[in-house]
């Protein structure tokens, strides 16, 4: 059986799994090529930096100290059944399981519904701009399928949009929020785009990146659509 490829680990976080003290495992591999990717080193599939069995033994030592473990990436579900089996082992230790996902694998999401307790799903752009941002034609439709399914389960969910002004306008953000609300999403997060490399820094400026957070009318409209809205302006 293949071993899980783990490319990074955060031993303690209060922000990656809302309401829980958690660790984060960053898994190798992603089918998308997002323009603003902050973990581009995880995209190529190769050997992970962390031994999965040693990591599991470390997680055992965190029982009673942490409440949850988040599987992130890359795209954690790209490793398919290897990820799902590892999630199950971690859940059997007593942890709540969180998943950060771009929604590209709805069929795999359905397979882990009894294991995963909460997901943070990236709704990256409007359909018109999704391919420009992700490089993949079918990414939008697959994300929507994943979102529809997860809402139907009643499991905890946060939909988040990172506002890269090259691909998301204020009108786009409102459209994304309205679509999410109509689908039954209750928790929404607006995330500031922070350039991760020097090339990106020259393509946007601070005012463009802040515009989503300085428009009170936009904020009121979005907040009226959900039970909870988080503005991550950092």
- Is-contact 25 68, C-beta < 8 A? no
Q: Which CATH number fits domain 6-232: 3.40.50.10890, 3.20.20.70, 3.40.640.10, 3.40.50.300?
A: 3.20.20.70
DSSP 33-61: --TT-S-GGGSS----SB-HHHHHHHHHH
Q: Per residue of the chain (234 residues), give pLDDT as tens.
A: 589 999 999 999 999 999 999 999 999 999 999 988 876 666 666 666 899 999 999 999 999 999 999 999 989 999 999 999 999 999 999 999 999 999 999 999 999 999 999 999 999 999 999 999 999 999 999 999 999 999 999 999 999 999 999 999 999 999 999 999 999 999 999 999 988 755 565 688 889 999 999 999 999 999 999 999 999 998
User: For the whole model, what pTM was predicted?
Assistant: 0.94
Coil, strand, or helix at residue 105? Answer: coil
Sign of CA dihedral 158, 41, 75, 8: negative
**Residue ranges of domains in the chain:** 6-232
Helical ranges in 39-162 per DSSP H? 52-61, 80-92, 106-111, 127-134, 139-153
Count how many Cα atoms sit within 13 Å of the Cα of residue 126 in the half-sphere of its side chain. Answer: 14
Residues 158, 164, 165: CA angle, nearest 5 degrees: 130
Q: From residue 177, give the alpha-carbon distance in Å to each of 71, 127, 137.
A: 25, 13, 22
């Amino acid at each position: 059986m293949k071993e899980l490829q783990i490319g990074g680990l955060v031993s303690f976080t209060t922000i990656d799994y809302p309401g829980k003290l958690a660790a984060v495992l960053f898994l190798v591999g992603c089918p998308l090529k997002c323009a603003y990717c902050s973990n581009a080193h995880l995209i190529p599939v190769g050997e992970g930096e962390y031994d999965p069995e040693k990591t599991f033994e470390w997680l055992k030592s965190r029982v009673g100290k942490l409440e949850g473990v988040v599987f992130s990436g890359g795209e954690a579900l790209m490793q398919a059944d290897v990820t799902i089996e590892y999630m199950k082992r971690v859940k059997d230790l007593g942890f709540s399981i969180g998943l950060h996902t771009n929604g590209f694998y709805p069929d795999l999401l359905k397979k882990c519904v009894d294991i995963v307790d909460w997901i943070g799903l990236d709704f990256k752009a409007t359909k018109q701009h999704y391919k420009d941002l992700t490089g993949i034609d079918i990414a939008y439709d697959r994300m929507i399928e994943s979102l529809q399914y997860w809402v139907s389960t009643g499991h905890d969910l946060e939909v988040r949009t990172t506002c890269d002004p090259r691909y998301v306008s204020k009108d786009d953000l409102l459209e994304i929020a309205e679509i999410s609300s109509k689908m039954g999403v209750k928790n929404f997060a607006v995330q500031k785009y922070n350039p991760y490399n020097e090339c990106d820094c020259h393509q946007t400026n601070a005012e463009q990146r802040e515009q989503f957070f300085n428009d009170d009318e936009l904020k009121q409209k979005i907040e009226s659509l959900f039970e909870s809205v988080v503005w991550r302006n950092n």
